[in-house]
Amino acid sequence: MKKAKTLYGFHSITARLRHAPASVHELYVDAQRKDRRMQDLLELAKRLEIRVLPVERARLDGLSQHQNHQGVVALADEIQLHQHLNELLEDLQEPPFLLVLDQITDPHNLGACLRVADGAGVHAVIAPKDRAVGLNATAAKVASGAAETVPYITVTNLARTLRELKEQGIWIVGTDDAAHKTLYQATFKGPIAWVLGAEGEGMRRLTREHCDELVSIPMHGSVESLNVSVASAVCLYETARQRAL
């Protein structure tokens, strides 16, 4: 039997219903909420023959551990898009486009990074099993459905994984405020893996040493750095722009 997990929030539940409806066992909804957004979700669940249970808000609070559930909680199977990086790379029909996150411990940051990765067309997000938050319910909700479409692959040894990516011809690029070249002065058209670390701490030393290239994000105001999800958006969308030329 597959391991069950709790999903909450309209975006994450709607994405799961659209991409893997058979994995959803039950949908709990706020019995008092009758707005258009709720009606659309209920109509989708009805078409998919998903069991819907109207309940009091207190029940939803308990199921979601008092997170911002928006009046909807689902009990669903835990699914994996790709469990192994090598399998994913073998299936690709275009140059790999990856995002590697080092020491990201905030689920909101992880969720936002997944959402950006989905929008930019990233094939997978990679992170270490240790010193990382993991894909929990909060991250999935913030991802607004991207947790159901972008493979999130955890690895035991990040440095070894970076070496293996390099051996497969994937260019490893990291961000560094002190780098002399900006990302707008670099070329990102081939197989590429962006490596970003947590705001403040950044990448670990060993992770940095495995980068083929370091670039900076130009900062013209008073702040010294960007949140990791914002930095990811800047880097990934510049890469997507170049790859489309």
How far is 86 from 64, CA to CA, in rounded Å? 34
Query: Tell me, what's the pLDDT at 81?
Result: 59
Query: Tell me, what's the pLDDT at 35?
Result: 94
- How many CB atoms lie under 10 A from the CB of residue 174? 25
Structure tokens at 131: 């010193």
DSSP letter string, 75-123:
EEE---S-S-HHHHHHH-SS--EEEEEES---HHHHHHHHHHHHHHT-S
Nearest residue to 121 via CA among 245, 214, 238: 238
Task: Note whether 160 and 206 are same-domain residues.
Answer: yes
pTM for the predicted model, two decimal places: 0.75
Task: Note whether 67 and 162 are same-domain residues.
Answer: no
Task: Note whether 95 and 202 are same-domain residues.
Answer: yes
CA 125 to chain centre: 6
Domain that holds residue 24: 4-77
Task: Note whether 149 and 71 are same-domain residues.
Answer: no
Query: Tell me, what's the pLDDT at 152?
Result: 92
Sign of CA dihedral 172, 147, 3, 80: negative
Task: Note whether 188 and 120 are same-domain residues.
Answer: yes
Q: What is the CATH number of the domain that holds 11?
A: 3.30.1330.30
Query: Tell me, what's the pLDDT at 182?
Result: 96
Domain count, the chain: 2
Q: End of a domain among 77, 112, 141? A: 77
Q: What is the CATH number of the domain that holds 239?
A: 3.40.1280.10
Task: Note whether 70 and 166 are same-domain residues.
Answer: no
pLDDT digits (tens, 9 = 90+) for 154-192: 999 999 999 999 999 999 999 998 899 999 999 999 999
Task: Note whether 137 and 20 are same-domain residues.
Answer: no
Q: End of a domain among 27, 55, 77? A: 77
Q: Which residues contact 79 (CB under 8 A, 6 or more apart)?
A: 2, 20, 23, 148
Query: Tell me, what's the pLDDT at 1?
Result: 44
Nearest residue to 139 via CA among 5, 35, 42, 24: 5
Q: End of a domain among 20, 50, 77? A: 77
Task: Note whether 121 and 19 are same-domain residues.
Answer: no
How far is 83 from 74, CA to CA, in rounded Å? 23
Residues of the chain where predicted confidence (pLDDT) is lower than 70: 1-3, 80-83, 199-200
